[in-house]
A = this chain, B = another copy of it.
Amino acid sequence: MGLERLFDPRSIAVVGASRNPRKAGNIVLRNLLEGSRARIYPVNPKAEEILGLRAYPDLASVPERVDLVISVVPAAPSVEVVRQAGELGIPFAVVLAGGFRETGPEGARLEEELRRIAKRTGIRIVGPNCVGIYVPRTGLNTIFIPREKAGYPPGGRIAFVTQSGAMGVLLMDRASREGWGFSAFVNLGNRVDITEVEVLEYLAGDEETRSIALYLESMADVASLRDLAPRIVGEKPLLLLKGGRTSAGNRAAASHTGAMATNVGIARGFSRQMGIHWVEDEMEMLLGAQVLASQRPLEGDRIGIVTSAGGAGVVASDLLEAAGFSVPELSAETQERLREVLVPFASPRNPVDMTAEATDEQYDRVIGILQESGDVDGLLVFALPQTAFITEALEGVIKRWHEEGPKPTVFVTIGGDYSASMKRRLRAAGVPVLDDIASGVAALRLLRERYAFLSKVKRSRAYSGAK
């Protein structure tokens, strides 16, 4: 059986549901009630009703065999909950409690017990020591942080799989503020049973997911990942942030998740060979996942820059060239066509600087001319709404070129509240507008890398076919 019912359960029991609004067993229930389309059953032997739902004394008295049990009780009782669930034939459990392997021998014993229960009864376990799963589309949310303190991102196209729960919650919170949409979030925790391999396998087939961001401190099963990665990467981009790349990072990871030291050179080489984007920090991972989820691969190094702020074009040229791109002179014909659109003191060279006189229509026509020219392989467009003649119509221009432009176009909007609201709307519509110049350049770098990975996949398929 696949993981479909784990991500989209028809019914859920929350064991350890609580009437106390500060307790995890209450927060999880509230988060589910706000979004989930599943039938929800609170389990608590001391309550008759919680948040308006009838409560049940134990799993056995819940009137249906639920698809998923969320255990919000501590470590030792959680083992009993999972045992009972397994014996009842419940297919999935998420164990939130810490207090397992990460705390010493007694915890390790409990964890071993969980593993034995999974093997014996066939129940599949996420965790323990995790925040679990959040799926905007189905409203599943096992996370015990109240919405006042951390936001949950809107639905979208990127899946985020993380070994570290706290890192996951922090980045989802950030994503919710920025308007970056998620198809799914999974925190693996101690991986007593379900590992990244099965989750990736599921996500590979999930239509909502267009790119996958992975934060791992150790790999549960390198051999399986090696088999699986080419298949995923042929369909959707996969980005890896590997925690524990240096000796200090490794020591930190060891005390965090008990991860084994991995040689960073080997890990990076493995990633590149598998077509997995190797990223250096959490922002590159999240931004890159947004960009790769919705952009065409970049088939060449020549970038055309469109701006209404000269300085942004200058700095972008510097950063692009330092990253191995070229910002080529445009042909005489292209410059001629641009001159017809621009005001006299604007620059039809590359960067094309429309100056503060820029209009929505100029943005549209300048992008069109560069898209049609044979002079560049991709575009970096500074979409800057602060100047006098830019209106909300600019959003339509951006959206259309993002969707229809044959050459990949990365949009950057530097600014404050006014541009942030434009950005949020565009991001909600699937256009991953970026916030600063370096992020725009990093996005183009990943799109170029994506092209290289896809070419390699194609070549190796052609080679396999020829054999």
Contact = CB atoms under 8 A, between A and B. Distances in A.
Contact of A327 (B252, B305, B319, B347): B252
B321 A249 contact: yes
B174 A321 contact: no
Nearest to A163: B311
Nearest to A175: B416
Given A150-B418, A349-B251, A310 B164 contact: yes
Given A255-B347, A283-B436, A322 B246 contact: yes
A356 interface: yes
Contacts of A404: none
A170 B385 contact: no
A311 B415 contact: no
Contact of A171 (B356, B414, B418): B414
B256 A347 contact: yes
A247 interface: yes
A251 B322 CA distance: 14
A48 interface: no
Contacts of A308: 166
A92 to B, nearest CB: 24
A150 B317 CA distance: 25
A317 B255 CA distance: 13
A387 B169 CA distance: 10
Interface stretch (A97-105, A133-141, A449-457): A97-105
A463 interface: no
Contact of A418 (B149, B414, B417): B149
A104 B163 CA distance: 59
Most B CB contacts (10 A, CB to CB) among A246, A349, A387 go to A246
A326 interface: yes
Contacts of A384: 166, 170
A326 B251 CA distance: 12
A419 interface: yes
B150 A415 contact: yes
Contacts of A186: none
Interface stretch (A51-59, A65-73, A237-245): A237-245
B386 A314 contact: no
A217 interface: yes
B256 A162 contact: no
A385 B311 CA distance: 37
A194 interface: no
A170 B309 contact: yes
A103 B344 contact: yes
A21 to B, nearest CB: 11
Per CB-CB distance, the 3 closest pairs between chain A and chain B, nearest first, are: A164-B311, A167-B311, A166-B309
20 contacts: A150-B418, A166-B309, A166-B311, A166-B356, A173-B418, A174-B415, A177-B417, A217-B311, A241-B315, A244-B317, A244-B318, A246-B317, A248-B318, A255-B310, A256-B311, A280-B319, A281-B436, A281-B437, A282-B436, A283-B437
Interface of A: 22, 98-99, 102-104, 145, 148-151, 162-164, 166-171, 173-177, 215, 217, 241, 243-249, 251-253, 255-257, 280-283, 305, 308-315, 317-322, 326-327, 329, 344-345, 347, 349-351, 353, 355-356, 384-388, 414-420, 435-438
Given A170-B384, A170-B386, A282-B414, 5 more contacts: A145-B387, A243-B318, A252-B313, A255-B353, A281-B315
